[in-house]
Each structure stands twice: as structure tokens, then as C-alpha cells.
Structure 1
Amino acid sequence: MTTKERFERIYQHKEADRVPVFDSPWAGTIAHWEREGMPKGVDWREYFDVDKVQTIGIDITPQFDERVLEETDRYIIHTTGWGVTIKEFKELDSTPEFLDFKVTTPEAWQEAKERMTVSRDRIDWKNLEENYGRWVQNGDWIEAGFWFGFDVTHSWMAGTETLLIAMIEEPEWVMDMFETYLDRCIAHFDMIWDAGYRFDSITWPDDMGYKGTTFFSNSMYRELLQKYHKRAVDWAHSKDIYARLHSCGDIMPLIPDILETGIDALNPIEIKAGMDVFGLKKQYGDRLVLHGGINAVLWDDKEAITEAIRQTVPVLKENGGYIFASDHSIPNAVSLENMRSIIETVKEVGSYS
């Protein structure tokens, strides 16, 4: 089966030849594998013979000036198109430090909103022209990368504290941001669709939890965010394609409300944060594709990760509806040998034959 054929059956909750494998290694993980023998510059998905998912991105930023403010051997401080001043360390896989946010008031938001124009120039047409035909010919799964919701608004524009307080004190402002982001996504992906470029699903990152709990209550989710999730899902379904939500953290309390939006797939199902992947499979496995759910902490321990895969995958793959991945991403401690073993084990126990 091609990746597209395999994913289509899994999304329909039918059995395929095997469970799909769709994950994302860190840059340091790729460097680690190259040091241990993977040819430099080779697509790791081809090297390990796993599924290829291609994502179409767009630019909906306010396009604020991007400038380098300071650079040393260890880090670079610069401004972003979202109006954020960020310190990024040059070590692979380091966590950036957010130093300042431009959009911290409704007034500043109005300026940013006016700059979030709808324009064909915000789409990388060259990338589509050069690669889309090959993606289709190869049978890759193609996703539209939406960018809206709680996570990207607090982390890339307004700041966590500002947004959480505003959700209580200035909910109209918050909803206007959520809605504007989504409006711009839909407008640009409508352009792409109308130009003849088709995709199989939409996806968006909206981390709504952390270890052991969510950032906000169910009532706040229903009041401020749920309708935008639903609108994105409805837009996808109107085109007969699927919708996949990425949300890190323990979002178990939100699951019933999230499912009311009609999402088709959930990722990454973060076990180490408190998610119950077996409970999700038992209760919602007939209508929710589970993507992930394999504790990333275990991946550098060959015995532990092999045991986890053998215990988990056979249960989750029943009747389709499961895509194999870590519960976050593939960390740089995972050796080439371990990754080979992981893929071999998944293909063995994830086979439907």
C-alpha cells in the first residue's frame, strides 16, 4: 500500500496492511543518526521505509519587521513576524527564550490584525509547483497546516500570562484573535484548493494541557475555543477530507467536548503527561483515530521501548484507527540501532496480515 492508501483506510477505521508510522525527529536526532551511519541529507522516512506525510504551510503573520538584535557564538536574539523578541540558542534542540511580546493589549492586536492581510503572496506557490506532482505520484499523504487557537496565540504572539488573564477578563479580544487566525487560514487554503492543489487532511497545533491537567476549564473551552475548532473541522469535512488535532499535555478532561467538534484524529496522546491511550481506544476508538501514545522517554532504552510497543500497538491497531508515533517527537538520545529496532518491531506487531 502507498501511504495515502494506508492512511485512508486507517481514517475510515478499517484495517490496512500495517499501522502507519508518522513521527518527527529532532534536528539533533537526525544529526545523531548521520553520525552513526545514515547518509547525510537522506530523507529519514525513506531510510527507515516509513510513511511520508507532506505539509503545506502558509504565512498568516502580521509580518512585523524581522531583525537580528544580537548574535554571539551561543545564541541569536531576533524579532519575529509575530512581533515577538526571541532568544534562540545555537545548540541543536535547545529551547528558545521568549523575551518580549508586542501584542499584549487589544489596541496592539488591532494593529496586528490589520497587517494580517489575505494575499496570494503569503503562499509558497513555487514549493507547490515543484513538489506537489511528486507527492501525488508517490502516494504521500498531504496535510494543510492550519495555525490558530490557544496554543499558537499565547506562545507566538501574546504570551502565556497575558492570554490566560485575557481569557477571563477580556474574552471578546481573545475570541477575535482565534477567529482572525482561522479566517486567514481558511482564506489562504481556499486559494490553494481552488488552484487545484488537493490535500487529504488539515492539522493544527493547539496544546491545551501540561503534566496532569489542562490550562483551562471545560466551560472556558466551550465558551471561547470550541466553536473555532468545530468551524475548522466543518471546513475540512465540507471538502470530504479529515481533521487532525495536535494537543500536548493531559487533556483527558476536555476529550468529550473536543469530540463534539467532530475531529477525526488526535495527536500526540502524551502518556508522560497523564493521557490514557487505552481508555481512549476503548471509549472512542470507533470514531477517533489515535496518533501517538508511545512514551518518548522510553525510546533510548531498547528493551523498554520494545516491550511498550508490543504491549500497546496490538491493542490500539484493532479495527484500524491507529497511527504509530511517540507521544511528542523522537528525542536525540535515540540511536540509529534503536530506531531500526523500533521500526522493525512496529511493522511486525502492527501488521494486519
Structure 2
Amino acid sequence: MAMTTWERFKRTFEHREADRIPITDDPWFTTIRRWNQEGMPQNTDWTEYFDIDKVVHINIDISPRFPKKIIEENDRYIISTTPWGVTTKEFKNAESTPENLDYKVVDADAWEEAKALMTLDDDRIPWDMLKNHFDEWRSKGYWIRGNFWFGFDVTHSHMMGTDTTLIAMMEEPELVQDMFDTYLDRCEKLFTRIWDAGYHFDQMWWWDDMGYKGTTFFSPQMYRDLLQPYHTRGVNWAHDRGIYAELHSCGDVMTLVPDIVKTGVDALNPLEVKAGMDSLQLKKEFGDKLVLHGGINAQQWPNAEAVIAEINEKVPILKQNGGYIFSSDHSIPDDVSLENMKRIIETVKKAGSY
């Protein structure tokens, strides 16, 4: 008998086998557009179309809410400022990482201005969405995530920039630690308000990309000194409420995994193959402690035969004794056809069944 998404995820986080492994992912908007052109009906929930698991998200706003302004716009792109004070360039008809052109918060004085604006106003919580949808999510057996955001990633990608952040970690560690503390404090307080209102979710998730191709942005020792205490605190917030905690960290973080495990985190995503992550080695070393999520090379997905071979090689090992969630090692790009996606999902369901 088929399980609900909630039942499937619950057993997976308990390191027990379910009917099959959970299947979830994030297609680009241009990927959805392609699938619509190739036969998937318009305005269709793609997870229902492929009959995979339904994960829903609760997001909050902890930004300084700097004014958003359009600086330049044409048919191809738009240059604008974000609520985090970053000037970005985004292309209109293609999915890509925004190009950050300039940063407002580049020193301690600018941070103090931003920090004062990171208030705890009630409109930072999506109350209407929760009132309108939460009961339906529960009745249909969806898996519900509360999305935190704190640590290195938000600092270097949405606040100060990579170079400025890394230099500050060396020369002004107290500055970046105050930033890490502030982000987490705002998340804890706003999500506690949500929790206390009766909207109990199943998992705390946060993004903190700490690696790139072949290595990390900083050493394991710097992770232990500056960042690990906040990761541990975030995990403890979740565990104090009886829910799970999952870290998303792009890039190669293999050298950090032993210390990540010590935070008590329950799951790690996305296990980026192209950066150097080895999901099979992680399963061997940490599979009894860590739920592995991802680890299937997104660059292979346009080639159905290649990705099917990778799935058949890895999934039977990763699924053993539970503890594995299927997805690409980042997201689903728009060079993946509808037909290829159908074959991928069919293969995963077969290889991932118990």
C-alpha cells in the first residue's frame, strides 16, 4: 500500500525503510515552461503530474527591507536593488544565479544600520498563507518545512559579498559572528511565534553554501570557531520541538562533514557531484547518522541513459536501511525534456522501492 509523503519522509528520517524512497526536486521556471510545451498541461502541479512527493514550505522575511529600486531595465535583463541592499542583474527569460554588482553593507557601521532594520514585525510571517493552506497540507499528508536562513551563505551572497565576508572572517570575526547571531535570532523568534500559534511543521531547513568546486570557502577550523556554534544552535531549536533539521550546502563540503555531523543535524543536501561530493562514501561513513538527500549529477539529466545508469548504480546502495531522499544535486535545468523526466522518475521509483 502506498504511503503518504509524510509517512515516507518520517520513516526515512528515522532511518527505516518505507514503500519507496521520497522523491523531490526543484525545476527551473524555464523547465516547467518547456514541459508545458512538450505536453504537460498548463497550470499543473508538476509533483502531481509525475506522482512524486509533495513538500511545502513556510518562509519568513528577516531582511533589512532596504527599498527595492529598478536601476535599469530592457527586454533582456533588469538591474535592481534588493531588500538586502545588493544591486543585482537578472535575466528575464532565462533561469540563472543573479549577478551581484554592488553591496550596501560592507563594514561594521553599515551592518549596524541594517541590523536595526531587521525587526520582528508580524507581517514578516505569512499568516494568511498558513490560515488558508495549513490544514489542507496536513489532511493530504504533505511534508512541511520551515525555512530558516542564517550563517555564511546569506552573509556572502546577500549581504556583504564573498571577498568582504571572507576577509572579515579573518580580520573581524566578531562582526560576522554578530551577523550569524542576528540572522538566527530573528529566525528563532519568528518561527517560535509560528510554532506557538499551532502551525507545527515537520522539519527545519536552512541554506548555508560553504563550498565550491573541489574545496570549501574556509577551513574546518574556521568552521568550528565561527560557524558551527550557530549551526548547532539552529539544530537544537528544531530538536527541542521534536522535529528534524536539514542543512543545504552546495559545493564540496566533504572535509566539513565530520564537524557538520557533530552539530546533530539530521540530513545533508544536495551532495553536489560535480563539485566533488561522494554520496556513496558518505553513506558508508555516516549513513547511520545522516539522511542523505540528492547526489545525482544534474549535468547528466539531459542524457537519459547516463542519468539512468547513475541512478541504478547509486540508489540501491543509498536507500539501504532508509535514510535517503532522491533529487538532483541542485535543481532541474531546462535542458531536461519531459520525456527524459518521465524516464528518470520511472527509474527512481523502481530502483528506490523496498
Contact 1:89 1:95 in 2 (8 A): no
User: 2: distance between equivalents of 1:89 and 1:250?
Assistant: 27
User: 1: distance between equivalents of 2:129 and 2:150?
Assistant: 23
More displaced 10-residue stretch of structure 1: 96-105 or 232-241: 96-105
2:201 to 180, 199, 202: 199
Q: Name the structure 2 match of 1:351.
A: 353
User: 1: distance between equivalents of 2:230 and 2:80?
Assistant: 31
Q: Name the structure 1 match of 2:31.
A: 29
Residue correspondence of structure 1 range 272-283 to structure 2 within 5 A: 272-283=274-285
Q: TM-score, normalised by structure 2?
A: 0.98
SS for the counterpart of 2:159 is helix
1:11-52 CA-to-partner distances (Å, cap 9, x unmatched) read 000000000001111111111101100011111000000000
1:124 to 126, 131, 152: 126
User: 1: distance between equivalents of 2:79 and 2:254?
Assistant: 37
Query: 1:133 offset after TM fit, Å?
Result: 1.1
User: 2: distance between equivalents of 1:271 and 1:46?
Assistant: 27
**What is the identity, as a one-letter code, of the residue corresponding to 2:34?**
H
Q: Name the structure 1 match of 2:150.
A: 148
User: 1: distance between equivalents of 2:100 and 2:318?
Assistant: 38
Q: Name the structure 2 match of 1:310.
A: 312
1:246-278 CA-to-partner distances (Å, cap 9, x unmatched) read 001110000111111000000000111111111
User: 2: distance between equivalents of 1:127 and 1:153?
Assistant: 28
1:74 aligns with 2:94: no
Q: Name the structure 2 match of 1:268.
A: 270
Query: 1:92 offset after TM fit, Å?
Result: 2.0
Residue correspondence of structure 1 range 57-136 to structure 2 within 5 A: 57-136=59-138
1:8 aligns with 2:10: yes
SS for the counterpart of 2:309 is helix
User: 1: distance between equivalents of 2:182 and 2:97?
Assistant: 28
1:208 aligns with 2:182: no
Q: Name the structure 2 match of 1:294.
A: 296
Residue correspondence of structure 1 range 149-168 to structure 2 within 5 A: 149-168=151-170
Query: 1:95 offset after TM fit, Å?
Result: 3.1
1:142-176 CA-to-partner distances (Å, cap 9, x unmatched) read 00000111011110011111000000000000000
User: 2: distance between equivalents of 1:219 and 1:346?
Assistant: 38
SS for the counterpart of 2:146 is strand
User: 1: distance between equivalents of 2:160 and 2:96?
Assistant: 22
Structure 2 gap ranges (5+) = none
1:64-113 CA-to-partner distances (Å, cap 9, x unmatched) read 11111221111111111111111111122133211110000011000100
User: 1: distance between equivalents of 2:264 and 2:182?
Assistant: 21
**What is the identity, as a one-letter code, of the residue corresponding to 1:97?**
E
1:51 aligns with 2:53: yes
SS for the counterpart of 1:38 is coil
Q: Name the structure 2 match of 1:232.
A: 234
Contact 1:202 1:244 in 2 (8 A): yes
Q: Name the structure 1 match of 2:222.
A: 220
SS for the counterpart of 2:292 is strand
User: 2: distance between equivalents of 1:6 and 1:312?
Assistant: 20
**What is the identity, as a one-letter code, of the residue corresponding to 1:23?**
D
Q: Name the structure 1 match of 2:336.
A: 334
**What is the identity, as a one-letter code, of the residue corresponding to 1:329?**
S
Q: Name the structure 2 match of 1:248.
A: 250
User: 1: distance between equivalents of 2:99 and 2:317?
Assistant: 40
User: 2: distance between equivalents of 1:73 and 1:332?
Assistant: 20
SS for the counterpart of 2:331 is coil
SS for the counterpart of 2:72 is strand
User: 2: distance between equivalents of 1:171 and 1:182?
Assistant: 17
User: 2: distance between equivalents of 1:43 and 1:245?
Assistant: 26
Q: Name the structure 2 match of 1:138.
A: 140
User: 1: distance between equivalents of 2:16 and 2:115?
Assistant: 43
